[in-house]
Amino acid sequence: MTETTHTQTTPPGTAGRPRSPEFRLAVDALRGLRQDLFHDAFAYRPLPRTAVDGRLTRHLPDRMRAHAARTPHAVVVAGGLVALLVGTVTTGVGGPGLLCGLLALAPVLLTLVRPVGALWLSFAATTVAAVLGGDWDGRPWPPGSFVSHLLVLTIVAARTRPRTAGWMWLLTAVYGFWAETVFGYGNDYTDTGPMLVLSALALLVVTVRHVRRQAEQEVTAQQSVTEHERSRRTLLEERTTIARELHDVVAHHMSVVAIQAEAAPYRVENPPPELEKAFATIRENAVAALTELRRVLGVVRAENYEAPDAPQPTLADLDGLLANVREAGLEVEKAVTGAVRELPQGVELSAYRIVQEALSNTLRHAPGAGARVEIGYVLGGLGLRIVNGPAPAPDLVKPSPGAGHGITGMRERVSMLNGEMTAAATDEGGYEVAVFLPVPAAAPAIEGGA
């Protein structure tokens, strides 16, 4: 048995030919029409309550605010009652007039729960009202249906997307011309033109409002993203600055370890080989760690970064900092409590930078105000408190805004040392920064050690 395979090629000019841009545009348009007005047209979509956090509604009592949230529903019902009144009065007293009024009311009320379905109900109700209503000046919309259909178009456009407004206007035009042809209105006066003009104006206003609201939402979202990225960049810059400063501190300690490990065997007469080998291993590991540290920290250094010639500042250099800020016009006092002792270099550097940044913030945001720096040496660590008063003449001297890095940098330094920090305005109108940096108790020295 022989199996053969038959391949059928699509002749050119049919399905195998690429579609033109016009054809694809038409297909996309029809697909949008189906999605907007046919797919789940009668789906349940209740009108949501309005927000009550506006400038006017936020001051209302709780009961009135609950009623104010239903304002859109009340407006829709009021519009429906107007359509009911117009349809009843213009058609005449009796059953047909009441029926035409109800046919005008029903589509408007349906927009509260099924907005797209209300459009189709409006077309159907208009047709029935045209048959039952008898003679009137305008065709094909009876007066009540005219008002009702305008309200339905406006409400549905407000509850959907701008593209739906265009489709609804087009369907309204098609229905108007179709009704004139089918019912044979001839040369009588028709209200299709006024309907298309008024509905176009209403839909244009709603569409512009939609576009403006969408633009505002996009701008708000973009501002949120920009603010998040700015905060993230600020945080990374502060961490990079701290890493650069601590590089010299850690490198110094690692160098001391390497030098002491190399010199330790010579301080003991006839050291055992095991001890010499242990010290050599310590020195090799210290040198390797120092090399890796410099390699990693080199990544965070900027291309134009130059290492400082002087050692990193400590609390011993704080008097010089206070003298500089006094020359800049800031009256600052210093108070030290507890037994002054030498702290780890990382703690000293962080404490100095925190005081420096707090005083810089005082110069920027409260020019002319006095400040006080309190340093407390306690058993478990170091306490800092930098507080400033309010600016003496805020209307005459405007503060100079900074980059917003100050508080972020302080918190990063405190977090790095597992400390605690609070920064808040004082009752007197000034600002206070309180920091506690824990310092572990020093291990007792071993006699004869290196």
Which pLDDT value is given to residue 438?
92
Report CA-CA distances (Å) from 246 to 259, 294, 312, 392: 20, 11, 9, 38
Which pLDDT value is given to residue 197?
93
Which pLDDT value is given to residue 448?
37
156 within 8 A of 141, measured Cβ to Cβ: no
With b for 16 or more beta-carbon neighbours within 10 A and e for fewer, the 180-216 pattern comes to: beeeebeeeebbbeebbebbbebbeebbeebeeeeee
Flag residues of the chain having pLDDT under 70: 1-18, 22, 29, 52-59, 92-94, 133-138, 183-188, 244-253, 293-311, 393-405, 441-450
Which pLDDT value is given to residue 217?
85
Cα 231 to Cα 227: distance, rounded to the nearest angstrom: 6
Which pLDDT value is given to residue 56?
64
Which pLDDT value is given to residue 310?
54
Full 3-state SS string of 291-327: HHHHHHHHHHCCCCCCCCCCCCCCHHHHHHHHHHHHH
- DSSP labels for 55-123? TTGGGS-HHHHHHHTTHHHHHHHHHHHHHHHHHHHHH-SSHHHHHHHHHHHHHHHHTTT-HHHHHHHHH
Which pLDDT value is given to residue 402?
46
36 within 8 A of 115, measured Cβ to Cβ: no
Cβ partners under 8 Å of residue 194, min gap 6: 138
